[in-house]
Structure 1
Amino acid sequence: GRTLNYIVTIPEGSDVYDIADRLNSDGVISKKEFLDVALSPKTAVFFGIHSPSMEGYLFPDTYYLSPNMTPLEIVAEMVKRFKEVYTPAFASRAKELGMDQNEVVTLASIIEKEAVVREEKPVISSVFHNRLRLGMLLQSDPTAIYGIDGFNRKISKKDLMRDSRYNTYRYRGLPPGPICNPGEDSIIAALWPAKTDYLYFVARGGGRHYFSVTLKQHLRAVAKVRRNRRRK
């Protein structure tokens, strides 16, 4: 008879833990088996990925997985998709920017987590590029909680002080590796940022942000957001 395949859809911005949960609940493979392989630095070395784990390289897409696939085979499918998306044109653009592949995917993963609407991605990217150029801390909230499995509450002030190499409130520059698996839009935004002088942004509702050049403008935007929230 015909072997039935599992159809598994991985949304953009899922991290390794989300993917493991999905594969587990879809009956493909246990969460632990998948994480043991996906989080292992040895797996990254095996696929020629210069990153601490496979986070960032498990491309978000719909996969047809056959039963009895090993975790390594599942990872291989996802990496294959990533390599199809990350074209030589992307690689040469990264070189122009003086970035390596892991830096691009890491930045793309932060953009993926920060942006809600697609058209803001290049603008959000420009803020991080500008901050990196000036040696400022990136101060991206999602980086502070990376690696906490199943985190689903509001990020607190205490979270932002968490001592993790991924926390861009505590450590300068990009984290050592991606914080999620970004889609193609976010990779493109990381490589082709909008041309702006923005250094700050704050969520203003409806998935959009106010962008500012100076701290003074930013604090005004933050106050405005707070006022609007109180009115609701």
Structure 2
Amino acid sequence: MDNEAKKLEMIEKMKQRKKEGKIVRRIVAIVTLVILLIVSVVGISGYFYVKSALKPIDPESKTEIPVEIPMGSGISAIASILEENGVIKDARIFKYYTKFKNETSFQAGNYSMTQSMTFDEIIESLKTGKVYREPLFALTIPEGLTLEQISKIVEKNTEFTAEQFMEKVVDPEFIKNMMSSFPDLITEEVMDGNIRYALEGYLYPATYSFYEENPTLEDIITTMISQANEILVEYKPLLEEKQMTVHQLLTFASLLEEEATAQTDRETIASVFYNRLEIDMPLQTDPTVLYALGSHKERVLYEDLEVDNPYNTYVNQGLPPGPIANAGKTSIEAALSPTDTEYLYFLADSEGNNHFAKTYDEHLVNVDKYIR
């Protein structure tokens, strides 16, 4: 083959490769365009679906739909119930909406709803307990009570005795079931052998409405634990950031709850405890001594401070083994967001006002001024 023929052959191959290149580029362009179209369609469809799911199913509907929310239901279960009854279009959208709005504290009961209700109206109904039928009875659990004190409230308002209540909260099988039902709330930490009651601190203080004539003791206690779970879940990111467990948080918060008076600055008291923990100084808080003694006293004596008990923070460094009471949201938030101070001491005067000090000498001056 002469040079001219070779040159023509090379030119022909180049033309062929160029032609093939154009075809490949065209195919790539078409495939890319198709992918972009699919993504756009999916995105637009998703947008309109979510937009539709956020609206009432039928804005004109006046038909009442009875909806039963069982005791102990979390937001996932509630959303599923609403979808199954045709009150909302998509349970997942409702669940994400409530989380975005930081809505909690939904009440169990039998509700009367319609397909014309907005998400906000449904949430308000679930929070305020505007129900289809009135609750048969309610239990109000104040902040700062121990399990033993709660047992007496249950005895006063139900057919169960305080002894039956305490038997249930210490029942190993029941505790195991609660750990299984609320794994993010109740962990193996409650099984520490030094802990007096595994579920101490895990029954959230609130008013609970009951719609069944004779709820079981398990249902009553589970409802309180479920509420604690609902409250604590919103603080999970902050707990992870502070490298703090739920058990540690509830224990710390219970100390603030017991030290608090009506005028107490809990965030500042929290700073005192954190400052002491940082330098390995005993917390030396009287409520832990009273819990160790198992009795209430108007005044803690010097001999009480020496009681040999894991809960006594005068003789043991760090936090006690577990909560000494059931803390409310104010104390929980104070434990997570303490004031930034250098205080190591504080005392409350006869009017409940707190006085803080950085040094022991300053503290003694406060003692002379406000206590003696």
- What TM-score does the superposition give when structure 2 sets the normalisation length? 0.57
With over 3 angstroms needed to count, the CA separation of the structure-2 counterparts of 1:30 and 1:156, relative to structure 1, is same
Match of 1:78 in 2: 224
1:27 Cα deviation after fit: 3.2
8 Å contact 1:28–1:67 — kept in the other structure? no
* Structure 1 gap segments, 5+ residues each: 228-232
Match of 2:203 in 1: 58
Answer with 1 or 2: which has the greater Rg: 2
CA distance in 2: counterparts of 1:28 and 1:106, whole angstroms: 31
2:156 to 19, 25, 29: 25
Higher helix share: 2
8 Å contact 2:263–2:353 — kept in the other structure? no
1:10 Cα deviation after fit: 0.6
CA distance in 1: counterparts of 2:163 and 2:225, whole angstroms: 19
**Structure 2 letter corresponding to 1:185:** T
**Structure 2 letter corresponding to 1:6:** F
Match of 1:120 in 2: 265
Match of 1:172 in 2: 317
1:42 Cα deviation after fit: 4.8
1:119 Cα deviation after fit: 5.7
Range moving further from structure 2, 51-60 or 102-111: 51-60
- The percentage of counterpart residues that share the same residue type is 36
1:3 Cα deviation after fit: 9.5
Please tell me whether residue 211 in structure 1 is matched to residue 366 in structure 2: no
CA distance in 1: counterparts of 2:135 and 2:240, whole angstroms: 43
Match of 1:69 in 2: 215
* Structure 2 gap segments, 5+ residues each: 1-132, 180-185
8 Å contact 2:263–2:352 — kept in the other structure? no
2:178 to 43, 47, 54: 47
1:55 Cα deviation after fit: 0.9
- What TM-score does the superposition give when structure 1 sets the normalisation length? 0.89
Range moving further from structure 2, 50-59 or 133-142: 50-59
CA RMSD in angstroms, aligned pairs only: 2.1
1:176 Cα deviation after fit: 1.0
Match of 1:100 in 2: 245
CA distance in 1: counterparts of 2:175 and 2:283, whole angstroms: 25
CA distance in 2: counterparts of 1:96 and 1:134, whole angstroms: 21
With over 3 angstroms needed to count, the CA separation of the structure-2 counterparts of 1:157 and 1:219, relative to structure 1, is same
With over 3 angstroms needed to count, the CA separation of the structure-2 counterparts of 1:148 and 1:40, relative to structure 1, is farther
Match of 1:87 in 2: 233
CA distance in 2: counterparts of 1:42 and 1:170, whole angstroms: 33
**Structure 2 letter corresponding to 1:98:** Q
